[in-house]
Structure 1
C-alpha cells in the first residue's frame, strides 16, 4: 500500500512472514510462572506445541501475563510472532493491543535480532489507519501501544497531520470525538493505558493543544473536497479542536 510517497507491505503480509523471521528464536524448555498466573498444564501446552499451531486458548493465558507473573524475555521473544499474529488478525481480540506492546517493551524487544520486523509491522498498522477506514486497528489504541514500545509517536502524528486520505480524515474525527476529552481547558486522550509521564503522551497533548492538529484540519478544509462525508468529518474535528481556543478565551 502507498502512503504519501512511501510504500508499505500490508499488515497481513508482514504477519504471515513473522514466523520465518523469528525462526532462530529457540523454543523454551521451561517457563517460570507463579501458579496464580499460569497453571502447570497451561505451561505444558506451550512447551510441547509448535509455535504456529498454538491456538488462542493455548497462548492467551501466557500472553496476558508475560513479563509480569510469567516468563522471561527469551520465551516472550519465541512466542511474540504468534501473539502478534493472533492479536492483529482479530482472533485474540479480547487481549488489549496496549498490553501486548507493553510486554514487548518490558522484554526489551529493540535488542532482538527480529526488531526490524516489528518496526515494519508497526509501520504497516499505522499505514492502514491512513488508508483503510474503518477496518484498521483503532489509532486510539495504537498510539499508546507504540508510545510504550518505541517511546515516541511523533512520526505517526506527522503522517496523520497530512490528512490526504479519507481514511486519515475519518479516523481523526473518530479519535477526537470518541477518545479525547476536554479537561480544564486541555484536550486529553482518555485511553487508560497511556504512560502519562512518557514522551509520547506529551507529544499527543502538544499536538492536540499546541495548534498542530488544528492547523492540519484547517489546511485540509482549505484544500476543499467534493466528498461530503469527508468535509463533515473535517468540520467535526475542527469543532473539537476549537474547544482549546474557546477555553483559553471564554466569552
Structure 2
C-alpha cells in the first residue's frame, strides 16, 4: 500500500501545516498544541496524533486541519498504530465523499487495497465491513470484490456478516446488505463443501450455520434465477449444506447483483 499512501500525501499536500490548530481552550492544552505541531508531518507518531484524531472537527480543528494531518493519520491507522474505525468515522463527519475528485480517488485507492488485503488472509478477521461502513461510502464495489472469494478470511467474514444481520432486528437491517446476502446462497454452499474437504472443520460448521441463518435473513428476498441457478432447488430456497438434496445436486454461485 506504499504507493497509495504516497499518493495521499501528494494530493493532500495542498493543505499546508497550520500555524496553530484552533480548539476549545478548556479541552486543548498548550502541551497538546506543542505535541501536534512539534514534528514534521511524516514524523508524527501515533501518540502525538491521538488526541487530535479523537477531538478533530468537534473541539479541535476544522476540516482543512484534518486534511493536513490525514495522510499521516491514515498511514498509521492502516499499519495498526491508530484507530481506523474512528478515523473512518471522522472522514464521514467531514463529508469526504463531496471532496474534490482526486482526493476521493486517492482515499478510495487506499480503502480498496486495505479491503483486498483483508480478503486474502487465513485468520478470522475483525469486523472489517463495519469499519468500512463508517466511511459512509458506497459499499457496492467492496461487496463485488468480496463476492465468490473462497479464502478462509473472506469466508469467515461472510459467516460473521450473516450472523450479525440475523441477530439484528428486521427493521434495523440494512436492506442493501440483505439483498446482497440473498445472492450468496450458492456461494456459501459450495464453500461449505470445499472447506469440509480441505479439513477446515470449524469454518465449514460456521458456513453450514450461516446457510441456515441466511434463509431467515433473506426470507422476503427473491431466489436468484437463471442459467447458473442450482438445478433441483425447486421453486423454494436452495438446500442447506449437508442436506441430502444439496449433496445430490450441488449449487452454483449466481454472482453478485449489479451495484445500485
Fold equivalence (TM over 0.5): yes
The whole-number CA distance in structure 2 between the counterparts of 1:173 and 1:187 is 21
**Structure-2 residue corresponding to 1:79:** 69
Answer whether contact 2:166 2:214 (CA < 8 A) is retained: no
Distance 1:38 1:204, change over 3 A: farther
The whole-number CA distance in structure 2 between the counterparts of 1:19 and 1:136 is 28
Unaligned segments of structure 2, at least 5 residues? 222-260
**Structure-1 residue corresponding to 2:96:** 109
Mapping 1:54-69, distance limit 5 Å: 54-69=44-59
The whole-number CA distance in structure 2 between the counterparts of 1:37 and 1:53 is 25
Runs of 4 or more off by more than 6 Å in structure 1?
Answer: 222-225, 245-248
**CA deviation vs aligned residue, 1:147-172 (integer Å, no higher than 9, x gap):** x1x2x212222232213333311221
Q: What is the TM-score with the length of structure 2 in the denominator?
A: 0.69
**Structure-2 residue corresponding to 1:194:** none
The whole-number CA distance in structure 2 between the counterparts of 1:137 and 1:223 is 23
Distance 1:241 1:37, change over 3 A: farther
Q: Measure how far apart 1:246 and its partner are.
A: 7.7
Q: Measure how far apart 1:240 and its partner are.
A: 2.6
By percentage of residues, which structure has more strand?
1
Partner-residue secondary structure (3-state), 1:163: coil
Mapping 1:2-41, distance limit 5 Å: 11=1, 13-15=3-5, 18-41=8-31
**Structure-1 residue corresponding to 2:239:** none
Among candidates 85, 91, 94, match of residue 98 of structure 1: 85
The whole-number CA distance in structure 2 between the counterparts of 1:29 and 1:53 is 17
**CA deviation vs aligned residue, 1:168-225 (integer Å, no higher than 9, x gap):** 1122123334x444345x3967xxxxxxxxxxx44224334xx223343235457787
Q: Measure how far apart 1:64 and its partner are.
A: 0.7
Partner-residue secondary structure (3-state), 1:84: helix
Distance 1:141 1:245, change over 3 A: closer
Calculate the aligned-residue CA RMSD, in Å: 3.1
Indicate whether 1:203 and 2:204 are aligned.
Answer: no
Among candidates 163, 172, 182, match of residue 167 of structure 2: 182
Q: Measure how far apart 1:38 and its partner are.
A: 2.5
**CA deviation vs aligned residue, 1:6-30 (integer Å, no higher than 9, x gap):** xxxxx45533654344333311112
Unaligned segments of structure 1, at least 5 residues? 1-10, 190-200
Aligned residues: 217
**Structure-1 residue corresponding to 2:213:** 240
**Structure-1 residue corresponding to 2:253:** none
Indicate whether 1:127 and 2:116 are aligned.
Answer: yes
Partner-residue secondary structure (3-state), 2:112: helix
Answer whether contact 1:133 1:170 (CA < 8 A) is retained: no
